[in-house]
Amino acid sequence: MKFGSKILTVGVLLLGVLSQPLHVTEAAQVFAQQYGFNNKGELQQPLMISFKAKESTQIKAVVSPLDELHNILLIAFPEGREIFAVNLFKGYDYALYKVGLRDNEHQELLVLSYGKRGTGRTALKGVDIIGANDITGQVVLLPVVGFKEVTLFNSPLQVRPDKTVVLFRDKIQSMVSISWDKSQKQFSVSGVE
C-alpha cells in the first residue's frame, strides 16, 4: 500500500503544478542573427530585409581583399528603379545584422566592421546602418554619431526590448550600445569612452 500512496501523492502534486497558470514574460534580450561570409567572400545565407513596410529586398554583399589589414565590403540591392550600392573598407572582417531599431514597421541593416579576430577579443572598427530615410523614404546610410574604435569580447550581438543593440567590451561591466535618438534623427553609439 505504501507504493500506491506514493503514486497517489506524486499524482496530486503533478496535478497541482499543472493546474497553475503559466506566466509568460518578455525576454530581457534576444541575440540577433549574424549574416557572415564564406571563404569566397560571399554571404553564407540569403538576406532579405524590409527597409520599408511590406517591401522585402534581397541584399547582395561580397567581401574582397584590399590590403593586409583591410577588406572591402560591397553591399548592393535594388532600390526602386535604381541600384543602391555602398563600399565599406573600415575593417578586415564584417558582420551584417537585420534589426528593427526605430520602429516595428522598418528594418535596418546594421554593419559592424572588425579588425582581424583575436583570441576572445576583436577591435570594432566601424558601425554603419542602412535604412529608409524618414523624410524621403529613400534607403540611405543613416547618421551614426559617437563611435570610436573599441575592443570587444567575441560575443553575440544582443537586442534589448527598448530596441538598443548591446555589445560587450573587453573591460569588466562595460558595454557598447547603439540606439536611435528620435529627436535628433540619428543613431547614437555610447560606451566607447
Q: Which residues contact 10 (CB under 8 A, 6 or more apart)?
A: none
Q: Tell me how far apart the alpha carbons of residues 11 and 13 are, in angstroms, rounded to a whole number.
A: 5
Instruction: pLDDT tens for the chain, 193 residues: list them.
Output: 454 454 444 344 433 433 444 333 344 568 899 999 999 999 999 999 999 888 899 999 999 999 998 999 999 999 888 999 999 999 999 999 999 999 877 899 999 999 998 888 999 999 999 999 988 989 999 999 999 999 999 888 999 999 999 999 988 788 999 999 999 999 999 998 7
Q: How far is CA 18 from the centre of its chain?
A: 37
Q: What is the pLDDT of residues 94-141, one digit of tens each?
A: 999 999 999 877 899 999 999 998 888 999 999 999 999 988 989 999
Say if residues 121 and 152 touch (Cβ distance below 8 Å): yes
Specify the pLDDT at position 135: 87
Structural domain spans, the chain: 30-190
pLDDT for position 2: 58
Output the pTM of the full model. Answer: 0.83
The contacts of residue 155 (CB under 8 Å, 6+ apart) are: 167, 168
Instruction: Say whether 11 sits in a helix, a strand or coil.
Output: helix
